[in-house]
C-alpha cells in the first residue's frame, strides 16, 4: 500500500529517497515518484509501475525531497495520479483517504484553481498553498479541513530547508542521525544503525528543519517531547535464499515461525497480562483477512478450552457496528503488520468502550503495539510476500497459547500445544503432494473448500489464499451448509477440497464429499483421519499427522498455502505480488 519517504540534510536527497522507496516496495503499489527541491525549484519525477522506473531521478541535485509509492484508491494507477503532487509551490505526498476531497476540490475549482490529477490527495497541496503563515501553520490549518485519514509530508519552495509532517489514522515515523532528518510511513524505510526513530501519534505534527533536531507538536500545535523507539536496525528485506518466490520461502519457514511463537504466558514478562486474563469475562477478537481467520481459531479454542464467550469480528464491520463491550472484555487485535487501518480503529473503539486491548502482531513498535495495553508477539520473522503464510501459523501458535492460558486461569486444561507444533515439519513435507493436484484446478470455474469446526476456518483461509494469488473464484464453506443452496453451483468444473481432522465430525463432512461427488465434482481430501481413506470418491488426498482438532489449522493450512502457490505459478501469476493487493492495508 502507499508509502512515504522524505529527507532533509547534508547529502543529496534523491539516492536516499530511492533507497527508502525500495524498502517500501514489498507493500504493494502501482506507481511511484519523488520530488527534490533546489534553489526554490521543485523537480518531480513520477512513473506508473515500479520504483526502478524512477532511475532518471537519481541524478537530481538537492538536499531536501519527498518520495511516494502509490496504491490507487481515487483515480487510476497512472503517472498523472502518482505522487508527489505540486500546487502553488507546495509539494505533498499522502497516504490515506480524504473523504471530503470532492467538496474541497469543488471549492478550490470555484476559486479558479486547476487540478492536475484525479486523486483525493492533490487537494491537500491546494489547501496548504491557500493558507497564510509558515509551512507548519499552513499545514495545520489545511489539515483541520480534511475528513478521513492521512499521513502527509509537505515541502514548500518558500521554506526550502523544511519538511512538515502530519498524521491522522495513518502511520508516520521520523528519524534523525548526523546526516540529516528522515520521515517515512514505516520503520523499515528509515531504520539504520545509529539512527534515532520517533513515531508520530494520531493528530500530531512534526517539523524537520535542516541542522536542527526534529520538533513535534500535538493537535493544538503545542510542542511535545518524544520517546525514541527501540527497533532492530539490522532488520532489512531478507534475501530469497535460493527460492524462486518469497511465498515459497516463507511457507518453508512455518515450522520455525510456529515454534518461536509458542508462548508460556505464565512467564514473568506476561504477568500483567496473566492477571487480566484471570478476570477476563469476554473476548472480542478484531482482525482482517487472514488474521481474522486466525481470530476465528482463537474464538473456537477459547470457548472450547476456557469456556469463555468469545467472538471474532471483521474489524471493518466491528468499527461501525456500535458494539456492546461488557465490563471484563479483553479485545484481542490480531495483525501481522500492526498497521491495518480497520484493525487499529476497531481496537481503539473497544478501548474507548472500556476493554483492555491485547495486540497480537508480528511487527515490533507497530502502531497497533503502541496503542495496546498488552502485546503478545508473533515471531514469524519479516514476511515479504503479499499473501500471509507463516504469519498465519505463527498467529495460531500465539493465540492457542493464549487460549491455554485462559483455560488455566479458569482451572481448566487445553490439550498440549507443543505436541501439535512438533508435527508441523512432518505436515509440511506431506503437504508437497498437492503439487500433483494442479491439473484439476487450472481449468476450474470455481473451487470450494469445505470443513466443519476448526476445519471450516482452515477452509476459509485456503479459499482466501487461492483467490488472492491464483485469481480463481472460490469459497470456503461449512460442510453442512452447502446443501442449503450453494450445492447448485457444483458440477464437473468445480473441484472441491474437503478438510477432515476431527474424528468426531469425519462422517458428517464425508457426507458432503458424497454429495459433491454425486454432482460431478472432483474431490481432494486433506485429512488426519486415516479412516476416511481410501475412498473411491476422492481423486487425491494428503494424510497429515494427528493433533488435537482445535489446533489442526496449524497443519491443514500448509497444503492449502502450497496449493494456492502452485496453482498461481501454473497460471503464470507472480504469487509474491498479486494484482490489486497490498501487504499493509493502511486505508479503510
Which residues are designated catalytic?
2, 583
Q: CB of 471: closest distance to ligand F6R in angstroms?
A: 14
Check binding of 340 to ligand F6R (CB under 6 A).
yes
Q: Is 65 in the site for ligand F6R (CB under 6 A)?
A: no
Lateral strand order in the sheet of 173-177: 41-48, 31-38, 64-70, 3-9, 180-184, 173-177, 196-199
Nearer to ligand F6R, 149 or 343 (CB): 343
How many residues in the shown chain lie near ligand F6R by CB under 6 A? 15
291 lies in the binding site for ligand F6R (CB under 6 A): yes
Residue 139, helix vs strand vs coil: helix
Give residues 270-289 in contact with ligand F6R (rule: CB under 6 A).
Answer: 288-289
Asked if 20 interacts with ligand F6R (CB under 6 A), we say no
Choose between 360 and 490: whose C-beta lies nearer to ligand F6R. Answer: 360
- As measured in angstroms, the least distance from the Cβ of 318 to ligand F6R is 13
| Segment (H or E) for 499 | strand 496-500
Question: Which positions from 431 through 490 interact with ligand F6R, judged by CB under 6 A?
Answer: 464, 468
β-partners of residue 527 are 500, 543
- DSSP class per residue in 401-465: HHHHHHHHHTT-----HHHHHTTHHHHHHHHGGGGGGHHHHHT-S-EEEEESTHHHHHHHHHHHH
Torsion of CA 101, 103, 105, 111, to 10 degrees: -160
Considering only residues 261, 343, 528, 561, which one is a binding residue for ligand F6R as defined by CB under 6 A?
A: 343
Among 472, 541, 460, 539, CA closest to 506: 541
The CA-CA-CA angle for residues 86, 88, 92, to 5°, reads: 30
Record the cell numbers describing residue 468, joined without a space.
488472492
As measured in angstroms, the least distance from the Cβ of 281 to ligand F6R is 26
Kindly state the smallest distance separating residue 290's Cβ from ligand F6R, in Å: 3
**Regarding beta strands 496-500 and 523-527, do their DSSP bridges make them parallel or antiparallel, or are they unpaired?**
parallel
Residue nearer to ligand F6R on the CB measure, 139 or 561: 561
Q: How much of the chain is in helix, strand and coil states, percent to nearest 5?
A: 40, 25, 40
Over the window 371 to 400, marking each residue x when it contacts ligand F6R by CB under 6 A and - when it does not, the resulting string is ----------------xx------------
Spatial CA neighbour of 170 closest among 186, 183, 155, 191: 186
348 touches 358 (CB < 8 A): no
Q: Given the complex with ligand F6R, which of 299 and 528 has the nearer CB atom? A: 299
Closer residue to ligand F6R in complex, CB, 34/291: 291
CB nearer ligand F6R, residue 511 or residue 580 = 580
Give pairs for 533-541: CB < 8 Å, separation 24+: 535/510, 537/513, 538/513, 539/437, 539/440, 540/433, 540/436, 540/437
Direct distance between the N- and C-terminal alpha carbons of the chain, in angstroms, rounded to an integer:
12
Binding mask 85-124 for ligand F6R (x = CB under 6 A): ----------------------------------------
Q: Is 263 in the site for ligand F6R (CB under 6 A)?
A: no
Which lies closer to ligand F6R via its Cβ, residue 42 or residue 388? 388
Taking the C-alpha atoms of residue 553 and residue 504, their distance in angstroms, rounded to an integer, is: 16
The least CB distance from residue 379 to ligand F6R, in Å, is 15
Footprint of ligand F6R on residues 298-337 (CB under 6 A)?
335-337
Residue 341 Cβ vs ligand F6R, minimum distance, rounded to whole Å: 9
The nearer residue to ligand F6R, 66 or 398, going by C-beta atoms, is 398
At closest approach, how far in Å is the CB of 340 from ligand F6R? 3
Output the smallest distance, CB 518 to ligand F6R, in A: 33
Whole-angstrom Cα distance, residue 7 to residue 208? Answer: 9
Check: CB of residue 39 under 8 Å from CB of residue 13: no
Of the candidates 31, 290, 316, 541, which one interacts with ligand F6R according to CB under 6 A?
A: 290
Q: Which residues contact ligand F6R by CB under 6 A?
A: 288-291, 335-337, 340, 343, 387-388, 464, 468, 584-585
Amino acid at each position: 500500500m502507499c508509502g512515504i519517504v522524505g529527507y532533509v540534510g547534508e547529502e543529496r536527497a534523491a539516492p536516499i529517497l530511492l533507497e527508502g522507496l525500495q524498502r517500501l516496495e514489498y507493500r504493494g503499489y502501482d506507481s511511484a515518484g519523488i520530488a527534490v527541491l533546489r534553489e526554490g525549484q521543485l523537480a518531480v519525477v513520477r512513473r506508473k509501475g515500479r520504483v526502478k522506473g524512477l532511475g532518471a531521478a537519481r541524478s537530481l541535485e538537492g538536499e531536501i525531497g519527498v518520495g511516494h509509492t502509490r496504491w490507487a484508491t481515487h483515480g487510476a494507477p497512472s503517472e498523472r495520479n502518482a505522487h508527489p503532487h505540486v500546487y502553488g509551490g507546495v509539494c505533498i505526498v499522502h497516504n490515506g483517504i480524504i473523504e471530503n476531497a470532492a467538496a474541497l476540490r469543488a471549492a478550490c475549482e470555484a476559486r479558479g484553481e486547476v487540478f492536475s490529477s484525479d486523486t483525493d490527495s492533490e487537494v491537500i497541496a491546494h489547501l496548504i498553498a491557500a493558507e497564510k503563515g509558515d509551512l507548519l501553520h499552513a499545514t495545520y490549518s489545511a489539515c483541520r479541513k480534511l475528513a478521513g485519514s492521512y499521513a502527509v509530508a509537505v515541502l514548500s519552495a518558500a521554506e526550502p530547508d523544511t519538511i512538515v509532517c502530519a498524521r491522522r489514522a495513518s502511520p508516520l515515523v521520523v528519524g534523525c542521525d548526523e546526516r540529516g532528518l528522515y520521515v517515512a510511513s514505516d520503520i523499515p524505510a528509515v531504520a539504520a544503525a545509529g539512527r534515532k526513530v520517533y513515531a508520530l501519534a494520531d493528530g500530531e505534527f512534526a517539523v524537520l528543519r535542516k541542522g536542527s533536531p526534529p520538533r513535534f507538536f500535538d493537535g493544538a500545535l503545542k510542542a511535545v517531547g518524544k520517546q525514541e523507539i527501540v527497533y532492530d536496525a539490522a532488520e532489512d528485506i531478507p534475501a530469497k535464499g535460493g527460492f524462486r518466490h518469497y511465498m515459497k520461502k516463507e511457507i518453508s519457514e512455518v515450522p520455525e515461525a510456529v515454534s518461536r511463537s509458542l508462548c508460556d504466558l505464565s512467564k514473568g514478562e506476561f504477568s500483567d497480562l496473566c492477571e487480566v486474563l484471570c478476570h477476563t469475562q469476554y473476548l472480542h477478537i478484531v482482525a482482517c483477512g487472514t488474521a481474522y481467520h486466525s481470530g476465528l481459531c482463537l474464538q473456537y479454542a477459547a470457548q472450547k478450552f476456557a469456556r469463555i464467550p468469545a467472538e471474532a469480528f471483521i474489524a471493518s464491520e466491528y468499527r461501525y457496528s456500535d458494539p456492546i463491550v461488557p465490563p471484563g472484555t479483553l479485545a484481542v487485535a490480531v495483525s501481522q503488520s500492526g498497521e491495518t487501518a480497520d484493525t487499529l480503529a476497531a481496537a481503539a473503539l473497544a478501548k474507548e468502550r472500556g476493554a483492555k486491548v491485547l495486540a497480537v502482531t508480528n511487527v515490533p513498535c507497530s502502531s497497533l503495539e503502541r496503542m495496546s495495553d498488552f502485546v503478545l508477539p508473533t515471531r514469524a520473522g519479516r514476511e515479504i510476500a503479499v499473501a500471509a503464510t507463516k504469519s498465519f501459523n505463527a498467529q495460531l501458535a500465539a493465540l492457542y497459547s493464549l487460549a491455554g492460558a485462559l483455560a488455566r486461569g479458569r482451572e481448566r486444561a487445553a490439550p498440549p500445544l507443543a505436541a501439535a507444533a512438533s508435527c508441523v515439519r512432518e505436515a509440511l513435507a506431506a503437504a508437497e503432494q498437492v503439487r500433483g493436484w494442479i491439473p484439476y484446478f487450472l481449468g476450474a470455474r470455481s473451487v470450494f473448500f469445505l470443513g466443519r469446526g476448526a476445519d471450516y476456518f482452515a477452509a476459509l483461509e485456503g479459499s482466501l489464499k487461492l483467490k488472492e494469488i491464483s485469481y480463481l473464484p472460490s469459497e470456503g464453506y461449512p460442510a453442512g451448509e452447502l446443501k442449503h443452496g450453494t450445492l447448485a453451483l457444483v458440477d464437473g468444473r468445480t473441484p472441491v477440497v474437503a478438510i477432515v481432522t476431527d474424528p468426531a465430525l469425519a462422517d458428517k463432512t464425508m457426507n458432503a464429499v458424497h454429495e459433491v461427488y454425486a454432482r460431478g465434482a472432483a474431490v481432494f481430501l486433506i485429512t488426519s483421519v486415516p479412516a476416511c481413506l481410501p475412498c473411491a470418491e476422492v481423486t487425491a488426498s494428503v494424510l497429515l499427522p494427528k493433533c488435537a482438532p482445535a489446533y489442526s489449522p496449524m497443519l491443514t493450512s500448509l497444503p492449502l498455502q502450497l496449493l494456492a502457490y502452485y496453482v498461481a505459478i501454473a497460471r503464470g501469476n507472480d504469487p509474491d505480488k498479486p494484482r490489486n493487493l497490498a501487504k499493509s492495508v493502511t486505508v479503510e
